[in-house]
Amino acid sequence: MSYFVILTPAVLCVVLAFYLLKRFHPRPWTEKAFRFTWMTGLWLSLTVLIAIWSGDLTALQIGNYYPVFFLAVGLLFLIFSVFSNASAKAKRVLAAVLAVAVIGSGVGLKLYQNYYDDIPKVENNELLYDYQPYIEGSRVVSLTEESTLLLTDDLPVLDGATALFPVYAAYAKAVYPREALDADDLFYTIDDYDLPGVLKCTTTSGAYKRIVSGDADIIFVAAPSEQQKQAAEAAGVELLYTPIGREAFVFFVNAKNPLENLTVETVRRIYSGEVTQWKELGVKGLGKIVAFQREEGSGSQSALLRLMGDEPLAEAPAERLISGMGGVIERTADYKNFKNALGYSFRFYCSEMVGNEGIRLLSLDGVTPTVENIANGSYPQASSFFAVSRADADETVRAFVEWMTGPQGQKLVEMTGYVPVS
C-alpha cells in the first residue's frame, strides 16, 4: 500500500511533464507518451482503491497480491493500447478480457474469503466470559464447604493462560470476597495490561511480562520459554514455580481426517518440515499438511519447542492481518480447521472450553490424552502447570499459593477437569 502512495505523486509529476512537452514540443511520440502516462495515473488510482478493499481479505495472503495483479495486467493492456498498431476491434477484445480477468478474480477472491471466514477457528477468547465467577450460568466450579483461606484486603492480582483461567477463577471465587469479583473493572483480556482488576487473562506471554513487572502477583501458566526465563533474569526477578496440576499437550486434526495416532518422532518430522504430505502418513487425498503454530511465548508454542528438542521448526503458515495502526503485519495464523490442517493445544482447552466437534484429538505413541493416562504417566506429553509467584512476594501471596497445593486447592483443580498433583 505504501508503494502506491509514493508512486501516485511521482506519476502525476510525469503526466504533467509530458503534458508540457506535448504542448510546447508536439511530436507523435509525445502525444502517445502523454496519453499513456495519464491513463497509467488513472489506473494507479484505481489500484489504490483495490488495495484498500483487498487489504481486508486475509485468506492466506491472497488479498495482498490482488492489487499487484490488477496493476500489472492493466499496465500491459495500456502499453498495448497506446503503442500497438493493432485494430480498434482487437483492443476492445483485449479490454473485455482484462475486465473479466480483474472482476472475475475479485469476485472469486471474495467468495473464497467468505469460505475461509466460515471455517471454524479453535482460538476463541470469548469463551472466557463463561468462566467469570458470578455471572448467571457460570461454568466456574465451587467448593462444597467454606474455604479454609479467606482474603479481604490487598488481594493478589491473578493472571495467566487462557486454558488455565477456569482454575484460577475458581480459586478467586473460593478465597476472595464477592464484591471484589463483581466489580466493573474485573475482567480484561489479552493486551489490557495496565487496567485495574484482580482477575485477568492476558495469556501466557502477557502474564509472564506482568509478573516480572510487578503488575501481577500470581500467574497460572505452563513452564516458561527460554526467552521468558531470560527476561526475568535480566530484570533481576526470581520467580518461584509451584506445580498445582498436570495437563496433556495434544495434537488435533479435522474430524473428517481418518488419522488417529501420531508418534512423537513423527510430530518432530512434521514440524521440522521433513514430512510435508498426508500421504506420507498413510492418509490419501488431503495433500499438503498445513501444520499450524502459535505465537512466540504462548504456553503451547513453548510446549512444542520442548517436544522438538534440538530439531528446528519449519516456517509456519501465516496470514496477513490489518494492524491497529492501519498497516499490514504478518504473524503465525491461529488454527483454522481445514481438512488438511494439524494443530496443537492443551487437552482441557480443546475438549472442555472450546468443545469443537469439528476436530479430533490424536493419540501419541498409541496413548490417548485422557485424565487417567495423564495421572498414571503413560501419555508421553503430559506436564505440570504452575502457580508462579515472585520470590519477594508478601505473606498473603505465599499463603494463597500454599493453599492451592493443599486439599481444597487440589480439589478445585480436579473438579475443573485437570489432574491434581497431590
Query: In the chain, pLDDT over 70 holds for what percent of residues?
Result: 73
pLDDT over threshold 50, residue 413 = yes
- pTM for this one? 0.68
pLDDT of residue 62: 52
pLDDT over threshold 60, residue 3 = no
Task: Give yes or no for a contact between 209 and 193, defined as CB atoms under 8 angstroms apart.
Answer: yes
pLDDT over threshold 90, residue 414 = yes
Question: CB under 8 Å, gap of 24 or more: what pairs does 176-181 form?
Answer: 176/151, 177/150, 177/151, 177/152, 178/134, 180/155, 181/132, 181/133, 181/134
pLDDT over threshold 60, residue 59 = no
Task: Give yes or no for a contact between 109 and 62, defined as CB atoms under 8 angstroms apart.
Answer: yes
pLDDT of residue 319: 52
Q: Which residue has the higher pLDDT, 422 or 399?
A: 399
Mean pLDDT rounded to a whole number for the chain: 80
CA-based nearest residue to 97, from 71, 73, 68, 65:
73
CA dihedral 93→96→102→103, nearest 10 degrees, is -160
| 279-321 pLDDT per residue, tens | 999 999 888 898 888 777 788 888 899 999 988 888 776 553 3
Q: How confident is the model at residue 38 (pLDDT cuts 50, 70, 90)?
A: low
Residue 318's Cβ-count burial label (10 Å; 0-12, 13-18, 19+) is: middle
Question: CB under 8 Å, gap of 24 or more: what pairs does 275-281 form?
Answer: 278/340
| 371-404 pLDDT per residue, tens | 999 999 999 999 999 999 999 999 999 999 999 9
C-alpha span between 215 and 234 (Å, rounded):
17
Question: CB under 8 Å, gap of 24 or more: what pairs does 267-274 form?
Answer: 267/307, 267/364, 268/307, 268/308, 268/309, 268/311, 270/342, 271/304, 271/308, 271/311, 271/313, 271/314, 272/308, 272/311, 272/312, 272/313, 272/314, 273/314, 273/315
Query: In the chain, pLDDT over 90 holds for what percent of residues?
Result: 39
- All domains of the chain in start order, with CATH: 2-118 (no CATH), 125-246+385-416 (3.40.190.10), 247-382 (3.40.190.10)
The identity of residue 156, as a single letter, is P
Cell reading at 80: 498495448
